[in-house]
A and B are shown apart, each in its own frame.
Chain A
Amino acid sequence: DVKVTQSSRYLVKRTGEKVFLECVQDMDHENMFWYRQDPGLGLRLIYFSYDVKMKEKGDIPEGYSVSREKKERFSLILESASTNQTSMYLCASSLASLAVAPTGEQYFGPGTRLTVT
Chain B
Amino acid sequence: AQSVTQPDIHITVSEGASLELRCNYSYGATPYLFWYVQSPGQGLQLLLKYFSGDTLVQGIKGFEAEFKRSQSSFNLRKPSVHWSDAAEYFCAVGVSNFGNEKLTFGTGTRLTIIP
A pairs with B: no
Chain B interface (Cβ < 8 Å from any Cβ of A): none
> Which residues of A line the B interface, CB within 8 A?
none
